[in-house]
């Protein structure tokens, strides 16, 4: 009996790892350029953190968490998203007492018990960033610009940005009342989830994926008509900053985002090349979250993007990741003595910074050369009895098959020089 992987998970095999490295490299590179520092929080947290920080009426908390009790009976949960833990860390280490704003990013696995389908996994990787300590609208635009630059640097072009404002504790209740009055009459026709959400969090009904619910809520009152002066002004200024950066967006008053803690700006980047799971990055402002997790009243905004979906979109748009790094040298040795010398040379090559390998199966010359070819190495270093007696090797350029004999002493300087020349 063989054991397979759990549902909703996947392996990244070495032949495709370069795609992941490319994504991760660009994520870190854009974080660096936008002056975000990496934070690493635990993979599991107290369940209560997500109940409070993500919200009791969200899909995540209602049905998607991997929750377990440890041996002491404590309830722990594999992190389903990054923001709650980042804020917990910010509060726990009293970072709010330091000069603000705080700009942090994270890159790592998240866990949600969802029905697996394309673009939806139970373990998936998110790159996300948070700015804490500034309520300025240009910060909202900066976070959006980071995502936009990151997506474009991956070669992704067919996406649109949707933007909304969810108001604040002053204006949201007014919209909530208007929404409730329009939804109560159709309550019985909503899906069971929405019926139960109606009184608790009617805004979330606009986010329901059920077709019938979408129709029933098509003409509900818009949040944008209910914004208070402060939120309306904030929204207008975010839009002005985006215009200045020439970032196009579509205002979508129905977009409410899945998480309970959002206030004011909410946004989603939606890819047009893939079907149902088109949202590739999403985020928004959460001015009440830090206080609700026991910190000072510090505003925040952030985003998260799922790397699996980005890879799927890149594939759909036909953009290639850069080719994987190739081996620099493959050492071919014949005979016991030559092998021993080659083995020492191999270590020198590696210590000089070259990626190098040799045949570990003690095969014949032809088989070794074939292995050298298969390895993709740029150079084969061939060492037989004769070369050994002359203290030389045959240096073969695998691209054109040309070969020359050089002395042992010249191998490292020669190869490191060509490698450097190529890198430039
Ligand atoms: P959806 O509406 O698709 O369920 P969501 O609102 O739950 O998305 P967020 O919590 O905002 O998603 O997560 C941000 C991003 O993380 C998504 O845009 C997506 O790229 C990615 N993501 C979320 N859930 C999954 C998953 N189960 N598998 C892979 N990627 C995911
Ligand atoms: Mg979801």
Mean pLDDT of residues grouped by 10 in the chain (424 residues)?
Answer: 96 96 98 98 98 89 96 98 97 96 98 93 98 98 98 97 94 90 90 87 85 89 94 98 98 82 92 81 94 92 97 94 91 94 96 94 92 94 95 96 95 86 66
Please state the atom number of ligand 1 nearest to the C-alpha of residue 269.
18
Q: Looking at the DSSP assignment, which residues form a beta bridge with residue 396? A: 380, 403
Please give the distance, rounded to the nearest whole angstrom, from the Cα atom of residue 336 to the centre of ligand 2.
60
Host H or E run for residue 395 = strand 392-397
Q: Which long-range contacts (CB under 8 A, 24 or more apart) does 184-191 make?
A: 186/216, 189/216, 190/216
Q: For 47-144, where are the E strands, in sequence order? A: 67-69, 75-78, 102-111, 123-132
CA 219, CA 126: separation in Å to the nearest integer? Answer: 34
- Residues with Cβ within 8 Å of 219's Cβ and at least 6 positions away in sequence, in order, are 182
Tokens of 276: 């149902």
Nearest residue (by CA) to ligand 1, atom 23, is: 306
Tokens of 45: 């947290």
Instruction: Supply angle C-alpha 153, 272, 118, rounded to 5.
Output: 95
Pocket of ligand 1 (CB under 6 A): 81, 112, 114, 119-121, 124, 126, 258, 277, 279-282, 304-306, 308-309
Q: Residue 269 CA: which ligand is closest? A: 1
Q: Is the distance from CB of 81 to CB of 61 less than 8 angstroms?
A: no
Q: What is the pLDDT of residue 92?
A: 97
CA 176, CA 182: separation in Å to the nearest integer? Answer: 10
Task: Give the 3-state secondary structure percentages of the chain, helix then strand then coil, rounded to 5.
Answer: 40, 20, 35
Q: For a substitution probing ligand 1, which of 164, 269, 309, 314 has the most ligand atoms within 8 Å of its CB? A: 309
**In this structure, are strands 300-306 and 67-69 parallel, antiparallel, or unpaired?**
unpaired
Q: In 156-258, which ranges are continuous DSSP H helix?
A: 172-183, 192-197, 211-216, 229-244
Please give the distance, rounded to the nearest whole angstrom, from the Cα atom of residue 59 to the centre of ligand 2.
7
pTM: 0.93
Instruction: Supply angle C-alpha 154, 160, 163, rounded to 5.
Output: 120
Q: Residue 112 CA: which ligand is closest? A: 1
Q: What is the pLDDT of residue 388?
A: 94
Q: Is the distance from CB of 176 to CB of 206 less than 8 angstroms?
A: no
Q: Looking at the DSSP assignment, which residues form a beta bridge with residue 404? A: 395
């Amino acid at each position: 009996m063989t054991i397979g992987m759990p549902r909703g998970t996947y392996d990244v095999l070495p032949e495709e790892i370069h795609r992941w490295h490319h994504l991760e490299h660009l994520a870190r590179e854009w974080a660096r350029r936008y002056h975000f520092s990496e934070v690493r929080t635990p993979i599991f947290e107290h369940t209560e953190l997500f109940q409070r920080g993500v919200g009791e009426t969200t899909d995540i908390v209602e049905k998607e968490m991997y929750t377990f009790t440890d041996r002491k009976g404590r309830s722990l949960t594999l992190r389903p998203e990054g923001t709650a833990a980042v804020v917990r860390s910010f509060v726990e280490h009293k970072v709010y007492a330091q000069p603000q704003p705080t700009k942090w990013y994270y890159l790592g696995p998240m866990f949600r018990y969802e029905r697996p389908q394309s673009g939806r996994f139970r373990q998936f990787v998110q790159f996300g960033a948070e700015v804490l300590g500034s309520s300025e609208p240009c910060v909202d635009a900066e976070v959006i610009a980071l995502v936009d630059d990151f997506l474009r640097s991956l070669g992704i072009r067919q996406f649109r940005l949707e933007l909304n404002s969810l108001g604040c504790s002053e204006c949201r209740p007014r919209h909530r009342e208007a929404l409730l009055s329009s939804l109560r009459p159709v309550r019985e026709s909503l899906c069971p989830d929405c019926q139960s959400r109606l009184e608790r969090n009617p805004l979330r009904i606009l986010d329901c994926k059920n077709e019938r619910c979408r129709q029933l809520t098509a003409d509900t009152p818009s949040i944008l008509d209910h914004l208070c002066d402060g939120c309306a002004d904030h929204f207008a200024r975010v839009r002005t900053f985006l215009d200045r950066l020439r970032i196009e967006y579509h205002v979508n008053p129905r977009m409410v985002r899945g998480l309970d803690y959002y206030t004011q700006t909410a946004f989603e980047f939606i890819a047009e090349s893939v079907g149902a799971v088109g949202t590739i990055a999403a985020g928004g402002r959460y001015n009440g979250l830090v206080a609700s997790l026991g910190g000072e009243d510090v505003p925040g905004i952030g985003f998260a993007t799922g790397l699996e979906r980005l890879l799927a979109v890149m594939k759909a748009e036909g953009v290639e990741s850069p080719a994987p790094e190739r081996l620099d040298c493959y050492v071919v040795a014949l005979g016991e003595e030559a092998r021993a010398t080659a083995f020492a040379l191999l270590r020198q090559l590696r210590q000089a910074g070259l990626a190098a390998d040799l045949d570990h199966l003690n095969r014949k010359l032809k088989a070794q050369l074939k292995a050298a070819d298969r390895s993709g190495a740029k150079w084969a270093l061939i060492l037989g009895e004769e070369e050994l007696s002359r203290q030389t090797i045959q240096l073969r350029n695998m691209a054109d098959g040309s070969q020359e004999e050089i002395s042992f002493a010249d191998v490292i300087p020669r190869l490191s020089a060509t490698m450097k020349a190529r890198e430039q």
